[in-house]
Amino acid sequence: MFGSLWSSFDTNLFDEFRRPKGDVDPVTGRTAWPAGIRALRRGTFPPVNVGSTPDQVDVYLFAPGLDPKGIDLSIQQNLLTISGGRRIGADADADYYRRERFEGDFRRVISLPDDVDPDRVEAKYRDGVLRISVKRREAARPRQIEVK
């Protein structure tokens, strides 16, 4: 029913409206979508890696220039929330024609597996990398059963 309605409509018309924006975006460095499946959207800060082992889940945030005292971490219902801010001194007399370093407040929310223990979290900030380790619950870990 709806297929016949849209089949008579020329969708190339919309493509013509989108074409100028598509031509300009690569020149200005602005795109609406990430370049690939593992790429971040423009303006996403800080980049994050999440890995897991049978014992714990490790979250790495690549955030140079942060004050560790200004980072706020919380876990609620298996959601890890990281927020803070980064201030970069800029020369007031300079005319910047490009500034790629993120400055301002940020907030990232990462979903953790159901078997993590929110009471066993460690966070360390070193050399611009924030590492957050969340241990798994003992009851959730596999155990070897001896057969007699």
pLDDT tens, residue order, the chain (148 aa): 455 555 555 556 666 666 676 666 655 555 555 555 455 565 678 899 999 999 999 999 998 888 899 999 999 989 999 999 888 777 878 888 887 777 889 999 999 999 999 999 999 999 999 999 999 998 766 778 889 8
Two tokens at 50?
A: 């999440």
- Which residues 6+ apart lie within 8 Å of 129 measured at CB? 60, 61, 62, 63
pTM: 0.65
Read off the DSSP letter of residue 15.
Answer: H
Domains of the chain: 40-140 (2.60.40.790)
Is 102 in contact with 27 (CB distance < 8 Å)?
no
Residue 7 corresponds to which tokens in the numbers above?
Answer: 């089949």
